[in-house]
Amino acid sequence: MAETRKKTARKAAAKASPKKKAKVAKSPAKKATRKVAKSTPKAAPRKKAGKAAGKKAASPVESVPVSAPLAPAPKAESAARKFALAAAQLVRDDKCTDVVLLDVRELSQVTDYIVIGTGTSDRQMQSVLDHVEQLGKTFGYPAWKTDTDQRSTWLLLDCVDVVVHLFEPNTRAHYDLEMLWGDAPRIAWERPDQMSRDMAGLHA
């Protein structure tokens, strides 16, 4: 009974005089720090890069300065052009007149260059055509076809990329291939020793 009373008395004493917790005074430095923290605005939350979850934001593409396009390098003179020039010069050397060299690459699908000349006779024109045929072999352009009319007033040598026409004067005027290929640019083929002294055409 005595022990039970003691326990009851202790409990009653404990309830009657509870222990007060010691208050810790807050330092002014901590208060100032809290005030600054409260006054600082919160950073905005980062937005998701993609609409769907898991998508990564695309990396910004750096702008690279684009340089001006380079001018195309000049093309080397083609073998067909070299042969056409040499053929026109040979036709003139063999006494044909009014020699014309036409560039028909943009106009024809069957050849690139046309050489036209006027001969004095069928024998002379045939001799010139034979010489041009031999010249074509040295340039790698053998004759694919040769043709002539019944009176031998129009002789033709076809080397595929280069075609040579030799006419008797009246036949040339009748067919007038220069007018037929009037849109084709003319190529200057003359060597210095073949240049006509009548540049103004006064004696034409």
Pairing of strands 154-158, 145-148: antiparallel
Query: 145 pairs with which residues across the strands?
Result: 158
Identify the three-state secondary structure at position 148.
Answer: strand
Other beta carbons within 10 angstroms of residue 76's beta carbon come to: 8
Nearest residue to 132 via CA among 98, 181, 166 = 166
C-beta of residue 130 within 8 angstroms of C-beta of residue 181 = no
Over the chain, what is the mean pLDDT? Answer: 76
Give residue 192's pLDDT: 83
Convert the pLDDT of each residue in 137-163 to its tens digit: 999 999 999 998 888 999 999 999 999
Question: What are the chain's domains?
Answer: 79-190 (3.30.460.10)
What's CA 25's distance to the chain center, in Å?
A: 82
Flag whether the pTM goes above 0.85. no
Whole-number Å distance between alpha carbons of 115 and 156: 10
Q: What is the pLDDT of residue 149?
A: 86
Give tens-digit pLDDT for 5-47. 445 555 554 555 544 444 444 555 445 445 444 554 554 555 4
- Tokens representing 83? 């042969």
Strand 154-158 and strand 162-167: the pairing is: antiparallel
* pLDDT beyond 70 at 112: yes
Structure tokens at 30: 């901590």
CA 99 to chain centre: 37
Indicate if the pLDDT at residue 165 is higher than 50.
yes
Give the pLDDT score at 153.
Answer: 94
Contact 91, 99 (CB under 8 A): yes
Query: Quick one: CA dihedral 101, 163, 81, 182, positive or negative?
Result: positive
What the block records as the tokens of 2 is 């005595």
Residue 66 clears pLDDT 90, i.e. is over it? no
